[in-house]
Chains A and B, each alone.
Chain A
Amino acid sequence: MVSLISPLILAFALFVIGMVGVLVRRNVLIMLMSVELMLNGANVALITFSRLWGDLDGQVFSMFVIAVAAAEAAVGLAIVVSIFRTRASADVDQLTTLRD
C-alpha cells in the first residue's frame, strides 16, 4: 500500500504553488492557471482523505470541484477576453479605472 503521506505532500505543494502564483504573478492568465492549481491541489487532498477514511464523499466532492472549476474557467476566460478588447493587455496592475 502506498503511504498516504506522499499524495498529501503533493496536494499541499500544488496548493501552495497556486496560492503564491495568484498573489505574486500579475498576468491574468497565469493567475487563472494558479487558481486551477489550487483547486487541483485540494482535489488531490480530497481523494487522499477519501482513501484514508474509506469513504466516497471526498471523491464525489472532487468531481463537483472539477465541474465547477470548468464553469469558473469558462466565465473567467470570457471576462479576460472582454478586458482584452478594450485594453490589449492582461496585466492586473494596469486595471486602474476603478479606484478611490
Chain B
Amino acid sequence: MIAFGPEASQPETLGRGAQALADMIHLAPMMLVAVWSLLQLLADAFSDPGTRKFERRVALTGLGFAAVAAALQLGDVQYDAGVEVFSGFLIVDPMSILLDLTVLAITAGTVMFAGDFARSHRFEYGEQEALLLIAAFGVMILNHAGTLLALFLGIETMSIAVYVMVGARWNSGRSSEAALKYFIMGAFSSGLLVMGIALLYGATGTMDLAELSQRVSPLFSGKGSWGAAMTDIVSLHLGQAAHPDAARDRAIVALAPVALFIPGVLLVVAALLFKVSAVPFHMWTPDAYDGAPTPTTAFMAAAVKLGGFAALLKFLVGTLQTARLVHHPYGWATVVGILAIVTMTVGNVAAIRQKNVKRLLAYSSVAHVGYLLVGIVAAAFFYVDRAGGQLTEVDQVLWSRGNGDLAVASVLYYLVTYGVATMGTFACVAFYGAHKKEATSLHQWAGMAQRHPGIALSMTICLLSLMGMPPIAGFFGKLGLFRVAMTSGDALLRWMVIFGVLNSVVGAAYYLRIIVTMYFRPPLQGEDEVEVLEGHGARVVVVVAAALSVLAGVGARPLLDACRVAAAGTGYRAGSPTRLERVTAVRDAIAARGEDAPEAEEAAEAEEATGAEPADDAAPADVPEGEAPEKPEGEAPEKPEGEAPEKLEGEAPEKLEGDAPAEPAPQKPAKPSEPPRP
C-alpha cells in the first residue's frame, strides 16, 4: 500500500493512545458538548443564585464552540465515506454532522428562553442548561451510533435528562404528573429496546450495525440458511428426505436465528416508535408535552424526535436491507407503513378538537411523525431493491439506489425544517404568558397580532411551514417526501402518499384556526389580558425560526444539497469505497451545477423530477472534460458545497446570540450565488 500524505499513513502508525486522541478530535462537537455540560454544572455550583444570564452565556458559548467544530467538519471530504471511531462504536459521516448541527441549533434555541421561562414561572434551577447539554449529547450519540450499544446509550442519555427536565417545574403538579407518565412509558420502552437488542445479538452474535447488516442477509436470503431450511422442510413434507431427522435438525438450526431475529426487530422498532411517538405508542405525548415546561416541550418535539429518527434511519434503513425483512409477510415495512397512515390521521383528527395550543401542537407533532415515516418506508423499499437482487439491470439498480438516497435526503430535509419551525412555535407558546400563568388556551391568543405584530407574524410563518405552504420550507419537505414515495410505484407507498396529502389538508384546518384567532379576534381586555415573558430570548427564537423557515424555503438549494450529500450512500459500510463513490458523485453533480449556470440547473431539475440518478452520475463525467484543467481536483467539489450549508445551519447557533433583525442580513449574499428557484 502506498501512502500519500500524513492522513493516509495515520491509522497504521498511531499507537492506541494517539488513536484514541485522533478519535476524540473526530468527535470534537460531541465531546465539547459533553465536557461543557460538566463545566456548566461546575459553573452553576460557583455562581450566585439567580444568575440565569450568566448560565445562558456559558451554555451558548459551549454550543457555539461545538457548532464551529461541526461546521468545520461539514465540508471536509475526509468524512465523506464515514469515519469509524472507537473501533466502530460511533461513526462520523456527513449525515451525522448535519444532524449534529441541527441539534446544536435546537439546543441553543432552547437555552435562549429556558432561563427566562423558568424565572418568570418561578421554578428557576441551575441544572437546566447542563441537562439540556446532556440531552443534546445523547441525541448526538444517536446521530453517530455505529453499534446497538451506542443506540441504547444514546436513547438513555437523552431520555433520562429529558425526564428530569419534564418534571423540573416543582411548583406545578402538572409537571410532575407529565414526568411520571413520560417516565413510565419511556422506561417500559427501554426495557423493550434492551430485550430486542438481546434477541438481535442472540441471532447474529454481533452488536455492530454494519456487521449485523452483513450477517443478516445470508440468514434471510434464498441462497443462505433460509433457502437451505426451506429445501429441507419441503423435502420433509414430501417425504423425500434421505435422513428425516438430520433434515429436521438442519432446518431448525437454520431457522433458529430467524426466530430470534424477527421478534428482536419488532421490539426494537416498537421502542424507537415510542421515542418518536408514533401511533399506538403516542399516548404519553400530549400529556407529557402539555405538562412539561414549554422550553422542554420545544426540545422534546424538535431534538428528541430528531434523535429518534436518526436511530430509525440507522436501524431500519441502514441495517435491515434484506428484502424478506422489509416486505410482506415477515418484514416491518407493511406494519410501519400502516402505522404511519394511522399516525398522521390520529394526530390530525385529535389536533382539530384541541382548544389548548400546547396540546394541539403536541398532536400536530404526532401527525408529522406519520409524514416522516413515509420517507423511512420509501427509503427502505428502494434500498432493499438494491440489496435484494430483484433488479438485474445496472441502470435499474442505480435508479433504485439514487432514489433511496433521495428518500433519506428528504427525511433529513424534513427533520431540519420541522425542527426549526417547531422551535419557533413553541418559543411563541413560551413567550405568551408570564408570572406563573401560561396562556396556552386558544381563546387567550385572540388579537395577539394587534399587541405583538412581529411575533404573531413569525408564528404565522412557522405554522405555515408546519402546514406546508408553498414558499416556506415545510412545503418542500413534504413535496420531497411524497414525490420520492410516489416514484416507487408500490401500492402501500401510494396509499401512504394519498393519506399524507389528505392529512395535510386536514392539518391546515387547525393551523389556520390559530392564525385566524391571532389576527381576527379582538384582544382580551382588563383582567384577562395576557402578560408576556420578559427578556428577549423567546422573541429572538421565534423571529429567527421564521426567518430560517422562509430562507430554507425560498433558497432551498443549499440545504437540499447538504441533505443529499448527507444521505448519499446510506446503508453502505462506513469507509467503504462504494459509499465514497456515491458521496463524491453527488458532490460533483452539485459542484457542476453550481459552476455552469441555468442550463445545468434545468438539467439537474429534470433529472431529479424523473428520479433518474444514473443521469446525475453521468453529468459530472462530461463536465470535468472542460473543467479539470483550470480547477484543482481536490478543491472544486468541496468549496461551493461546504460553504452553503454552513451559511444555513452553522449560522443558527452563533447568530442566536446576536440580535434578531441582524440575522437574515449576513445570509443574503448566499442567495444570489445560487441559481434562482423555478
Which A residues contact B (CB, under 8 angstroms)? 11, 15, 18-19, 22, 28, 31-32, 35, 38-39, 41-43, 45-46, 48-50, 52-53, 55, 57-58, 60-61, 64-65, 68, 71-72, 75-76, 78-80, 82-83, 86-87, 92, 95, 97-100
Indicate which residue in A39, A45, A79 contacts B180 across the interface (CB closer than 8 Å): A79
**Across the interface, which residues of B come within 8 angstroms of A32, CB to CB?**
187
Q: Is the CB of B191 within 8 A of A83?
A: no
Assuming A64-B153, A75-B183, A83-B176, is B350 touching A49 (CB within 8 A)?
Answer: no
B218 within 8 A of A: no
Q: Report which of B160, B170, B195 forms a contact with A15, defined as CB distance below 8 A.
A: B195
> Is the pair B184, A31 in contact by a Cβ cutoff of 8 Å?
yes
Q: How far is the CB of A61 from chain B (nearest CB, A)?
A: 6
Judging by beta carbons under 8 Å apart, are A92 and B184 in contact?
A: yes
With both beta carbons as reference points, the residue of chain A lying nearest to B174 in the complex is identified as A97
Q: A68-B153, A83-B180, A98-B287 are in contact. Are A61 and B207 (CB under 8 A)?
A: yes
Say whether B176 contacts A86, CB under 8 Å: yes
| C-alpha gap A50/B197 in the complex (Å) | 12
Residue of B174, B179, B180, B191 with highest tally of chain A CB at under 10 A: B191
A30 vs B179: C-alpha distance in the bound complex, in angstroms? 17
Task: Check A75 against B164 for contact (C-beta < 8 Å).
Answer: yes
Known: A46-B198, A86-B173, A86-B176. 13 other contacts (CB 8 A): A18-B191, A42-B195, A48-B202, A57-B206, A61-B149, A61-B198, A72-B190, A76-B183, A78-B167, A87-B173, A92-B184, A98-B290, A100-B359
Cβ–Cβ < 8 Å partners of B174 in chain A: 97-98
Q: What is the distance, in angstroms, from B213's C-beta to the closest C-beta of chain A?
A: 16
* A89→B206 CA distance, assembly (Å): 44
In the complex the two chains form, is B176's CB within 8 Å of A58's CB? no
What does the 1/0 interface line of B495-521 toward A look like (CB < 8 Å)?
A: 000000000000000000000000000
Q: How many A-B residue pairs have CB under 8 A?
A: 133
Q: What is the CA–CA distance of A72 and B170 in the complex, to the nearest angstrom?
A: 19
Chain B residues lying within 8 Å of A31, measured Cβ to Cβ, are 184
Indicate if the CB atoms of B195 and A64 lie closer than 8 Å: no
CB <8 Å contact, B156 and A35? no
A42-B194, A79-B167, A100-B353 given; A71·B184 CB < 8 A: no
Q: Which residues of B contact A (CB under 8 A)?
A: 148-149, 152-153, 156, 160, 163-164, 167, 170, 173-174, 176-181, 183-184, 187-188, 190-192, 194-195, 197-199, 201-202, 205-207, 286-287, 290-291, 350, 353-354, 359
Chain B nearest Cβ from A30, distance in angstroms: 11
* In the bound complex, CA of A68 to CA of B193 (Å): 13
Q: Is the CB of B149 within 8 A of A76?
A: no
Q: Is the pair B164, A71 in contact by a Cβ cutoff of 8 Å?
A: no
Cα of A55 to Cα of B204 in the assembled complex, Å = 11
- What would 12 A/B residue contacts be, using CB atoms closer than 8 Å? A15-B191, A35-B187, A39-B194, A42-B197, A49-B198, A65-B194, A75-B183, A79-B163, A82-B179, A98-B181, A98-B287, A99-B287
Q: With the chains together, A80 CA to B180 CA distance in Å?
A: 7
A22 vs B178: C-alpha distance in the bound complex, in angstroms?
Answer: 17
Residues on the A chain within 8 Å of B353, using CB: 100
* Contact (Cβ within 8 A) B167 A82: yes
Q: Which residue of B lies closest to A74 (CB)?
A: B160
Smallest beta-carbon distance B659→chain A, Å: 37
Q: How far is the CB of B123 from chain A (nearest CB, A)?
A: 12
- Give Cα distance in the complex from A82 to B194, angstroms: 28
Contact for A79 among B173, B176, B195, CB less than 8 A: B176
Beyond A39-B194, A57-B207, A68-B156, whether A79 also contacts B359 by CB under 8 A is no
